[in-house]
């Protein structure tokens, strides 16, 4: 840092405007709208955020911001003026604004981007000069559509006990004045971003045959049992074949990633064979991988007042294998007999 030219010496954690920025005032950066330390990383989190301050420290690893989905934003910084033997904590705040409102800080400082854990303000802790740091607890931003010809700006702010770094309330006179304020405030950084449409999701479809071998109409249950899918994964069952009442057109969204169960009651006409299509779609804001996941699909005959069939011999045989509905995690007074099962596994 060029202490001789410094306008103030109480900044202890700074965010770079460019890779040339070393925290000096006046800043050596020629621009201010491309901060490499405001890292937009799309809809999936970094596998190892520590890479931000090691091998990727001098790289701009930003990825496009996906509209209508929650995007991860990481903030990194550097330390200076750290007293020997002391730790300095810097809290990190992140704002967004349309470019057309950039000169109105009283407006955009209300546009706060929340962190992943809203109960914990993101922070960095420095114990010596020259440390590379990143904020614990990344931000998650859900950007809305923006008008044609406009774009979003992200503005990051570091506050410490020595440098509370308040945002001014007065309107900036012009874009040059705003740029100069960012460049010569080590605790502020700015990055322009544009929005892209969501990427294609992982979607896979499977078709099975199921049905009712008996000659008369019977009640059934179709059950899905999932394991190890990301929360938010959508599993859709569909069958519109004649004789399936009502037609199956049901979606289930995974809530419990370890084990989730759901049921679809259906009546099947006698001597029916029909295709059941199962479509699995990963959400945009979850890791796009099905590795290790499995889906079990069961077909079960339901009793009707304790009776499975008007044919006495058929009813006797089915009752031999019947189990209470609670055995299948179904709330019902009826008994069920499992008639078939298919499992989809992703290696």
pLDDT at 289: 63
pLDDT tens series, the chain, 347 aa: 333 333 456 899 999 999 999 999 999 998 899 999 999 998 888 889 999 999 999 999 888 888 888 899 999 999 999 999 999 999 999 999 999 999 999 999 999 999 999 999 999 999 999 999 999 899 999 998 887 778 899 999 999 999 999 999 999 999 999 999 999 999 999 999 988 776 556 678 898 889 998 999 999 999 999 999 888 888 999 999 999 999 999 999 888 777 899 999 999 999 999 999 999 987 655 555 677 889 999 999 999 888 898 888 888 988 898 999 899 988 888 899 999 888 888 85
Q: What is the pLDDT of residues 56-82, one digit of tens each?
A: 999 998 888 888 888 999 999 999 999
Q: Which residue has the tokens 């992943």?
A: 116
- Mapping DSSP to helix (H, G, I), strand (E, B) and coil, where does residue 215 land? coil
pLDDT at 8: 53
Q: Which residue has the tokens 């991988």?
A: 289
> Are the C-beta atoms of 285 and 70 separated by less than 8 Å?
yes
> Are the C-beta atoms of 284 and 199 separated by less than 8 Å?
yes
Strands (DSSP E) along 170-309, which ranges? 188-193, 195-196, 203-212, 218-227, 234-239, 244-245, 248-253, 260-268, 272-281, 294-302
> Are the C-beta atoms of 203 and 283 separated by less than 8 Å?
no
Residues comprising the chain, all counted: 347
pLDDT at 340: 87
Which domains does the chain carry? 3-196 (2.60.40), 203-345 (2.60.120)
pLDDT at 146: 85
Q: What is the pLDDT of residues 287-339, one digit of tens each?
A: 556 778 899 999 999 998 888 988 888 889 888 989 998 999 888 888 999 99
pLDDT at 225: 94
pLDDT at 284: 57
The C-alpha atoms of residue 172 and residue 177 are separated, in whole angstroms, by 6
**b/e per residue, 246-263, with b = 16+ CB within 10 A?**
eebebebebeebeebebb
């Amino acid at each position: 840092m060029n202490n001789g030219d410094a306008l103030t010496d109480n900044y202890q954690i700074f965010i770079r405007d460019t890779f040339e920025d070393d925290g000096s005032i006046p800043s050596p950066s020629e621009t201010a709208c491309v901060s490499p330390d405001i890292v937009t990383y799309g809809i999936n989190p970094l596998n190892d955020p520590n890479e931000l301050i090691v091998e990727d420290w001098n790289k701009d690893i930003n990825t496009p911001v996906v509209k209508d989905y929650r995007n991860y934003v990481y903030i990194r910084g550097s330390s200076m003026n750290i007293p020997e033997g002391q730790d300095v904590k810097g809290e990190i705040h992140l704002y967004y604004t349309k470019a057309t409102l950039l000169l109105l800080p009283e407006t955009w400082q209300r546009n706060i981007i929340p962190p992943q854990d809203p109960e914990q303000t993101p922070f960095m802790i420095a114990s010596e000069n020259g440390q590379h740091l990143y904020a614990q607890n990344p931000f998650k931003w859900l950007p809305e559509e923006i008008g044609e010809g406009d774009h979003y700006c992200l503005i990051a702010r570091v506050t410490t006990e020595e440098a509370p770094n308040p945002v001014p309330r007065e309107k900036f006179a012009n874009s040059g004045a705003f740029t100069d304020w960012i460049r010569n405030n080590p605790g502020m950084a700015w990055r322009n971003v544009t929005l892209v449409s969501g990427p294609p999701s992982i979607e896979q479809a499977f078709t099975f045959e199921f049905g009712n071998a008996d000659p008369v109409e019977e009640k059934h249950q179709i059950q899905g049992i999932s394991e190890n899918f990301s929360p938010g994964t959508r599993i859709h069952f569909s069958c519109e074949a004649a004789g399936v009442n009502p037609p199956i057109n049901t979606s289930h969204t995974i809530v419990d990633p370890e084990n989730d169960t759901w049921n679809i009651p259906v009546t099947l006409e006698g001597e029916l064979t029909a295709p059941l299509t199962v479509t699995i779609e990963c959400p945009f804001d979850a890791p796009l991988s099905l590795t290790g996941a499995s889906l079990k699909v069961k077909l079960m005959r339901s009793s009707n007042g304790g009776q499975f069939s008007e044919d006495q011999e058929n009813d006797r045989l089915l009752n031999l294998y019947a189990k209470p509905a609670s055995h299948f995690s179904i709330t019902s007074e009826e008994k069920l007999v499992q008639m078939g099962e298919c499992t989809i596994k992703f290696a």
